[in-house]
């Protein structure tokens, strides 16, 4: 899922300064699960925005909502109602959600309250780690299900760089060496032979260097 982090409070205050009536929208999907931009966070942020800063002309008025998926243009256009005389939207969605709102409401500024950080998974309660870079050409088949693109600091493809110590990456003791994990897992799976297979090259053309990527598939599925 997409993991995000609330922006620094002062940055959010600065970005909403000057607006009088703000619609604050939490997103009910990824950012709810990673505890950064859901309903609870939207209300807590709004409370803080209302109470804490010293606004020159008093605090703006806020209306808080949570929308299930801000990144779906047709849902947003159909179901999201913007209260009359709203002059800005503060979105707690990821960047895709913010841009979808901007497209749906071309006359309103849409301000992000979240820094979208990575595609990750829950390691343990309260801790998410990056697990995928969305590179468009997944190699997990060959690496025992552990991604060196996302989890190796140097993105090396043919074994450890030599900097690991005690199974940890040289960048931090908090980070497992991805290649150590790959090798351990290949051993456990009885597939250590795979480690001997060299990657010649990876197709990076799917990674996005050619501009924004697009996925398209038929949506007229039969109902049964």
Is 164 a binding residue for ligand SF4 by CB under 6 A? The answer is: yes
Closest distance to ligand SF4 from the beta carbon of 104 (Å): 29
Q: Looking at 12-20, 24-32, 54-62, 158-166, which segment touches ligand SF4 (CB under 6 A)?
A: 158-166
Taking alpha carbons only, the member of 127, 151, 149, 125 closest to residue 139 is 149
Query: Which of 86, 117 has the CB closer to ligand SF4?
Result: 117
Three-class SS state of 116: strand
The beta strand positions in the chain, using DSSP E, are 2-6, 21-27, 61-67, 88-91, 110-112, 114-124, 127-132
Tokens representing 122?
């829950």
Which of 138, 188, 189, 192 is in the footprint of ligand SF4 by CB under 6 A? 138
Query: Which of 18, 159 has the CB closer to ligand SF4?
Result: 159
Task: Outline where the chain has alpha helix (H).
Answer: 9-16, 30-33, 39-51, 73-79, 95-104, 148-151, 178-188
Tokens representing 79?
């179901």
Taking alpha carbons only, the member of 74, 81, 69 closest to residue 103 is 74
Q: Looking at 28-36, 44-52, 104-112, 154-162, which segment touches ligand SF4 (CB under 6 A)?
A: 154-162
Cα–Cα distance list, 133 to 150, 172, 204 (Å): 5, 20, 12
Is 35 a binding residue for ligand SF4 by CB under 6 A? The answer is: no
Three-class SS state of 41: helix
Token match 């995928």: residue?
Answer: 132
Is 208 a binding residue for ligand SF4 by CB under 6 A? The answer is: no
- Give the DSSP letter of residue 175: S
Is 49 a binding residue for ligand SF4 by CB under 6 A? The answer is: no
Tokens representing 64?
């808080």
Q: Looking at 58-66, 70-78, 108-116, 149-157, which segment touches ligand SF4 (CB under 6 A)?
A: 149-157
Closest distance to ligand SF4 from the beta carbon of 203 (Å): 11
Residue list 167-206, contact with ligand SF4 (CB under 6 A): 169-171, 177-179
Which of 149, 182, 183, 186 is in the footprint of ligand SF4 by CB under 6 A? 149
Query: Which of 17, 158 has the CB closer to ligand SF4?
Result: 158
Query: Which of 92, 150 has the CB closer to ligand SF4?
Result: 150
- Give the binding site for ligand SF4 (CB under 6 A): 132-135, 138-140, 147, 149-150, 152-154, 156, 160-161, 163-164, 169-171, 177-179
């Amino acid at each position: 899922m997409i993991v995000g982090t609330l922006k620094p409070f002062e940055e959010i205050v600065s970005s909403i300064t000057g607006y009088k009536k703000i619609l604050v929208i939490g997103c009910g999907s990824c950012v709810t699960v990673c505890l950064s931009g859901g309903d609870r966070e939207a209300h807590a942020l709004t409370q803080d925005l209302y109470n804490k800063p010293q606004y020159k002309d008093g605090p703006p008025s806020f209306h808080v909502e949570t929308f299930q998926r801000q990144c779906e243009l047709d849902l947003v256009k159909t179901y999201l109602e913007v209260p009359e005389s709203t002059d800005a939207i503060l979105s707690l969605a990821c960047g895709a959600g913010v841009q979808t709102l901007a497209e749906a409401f071309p006359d309103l500024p849409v301000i992000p309250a979240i820094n979208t950080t990575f595609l990750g998974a829950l390691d343990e309660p309260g801790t998410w780690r990056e697990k995928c870079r969305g590179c468009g050409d997944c190699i997990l088949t060959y690496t025992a299900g552990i991604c060196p693109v996302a989890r190796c600091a140097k993105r090396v493809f043919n074994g450890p760089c030599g900097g690991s110590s005690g199974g940890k990456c040289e960048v931090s003791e908090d980070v497992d060496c991805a290649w150590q994990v790959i090798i351990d897992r290949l051993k456990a799976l009885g597939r250590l032979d795979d480690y001997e297979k060299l990657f010649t090259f990876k197709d990076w053309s799917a990674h996005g260097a050619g501009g924004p990527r697009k996925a398209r598939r038929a949506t007229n599925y039969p109902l049964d």
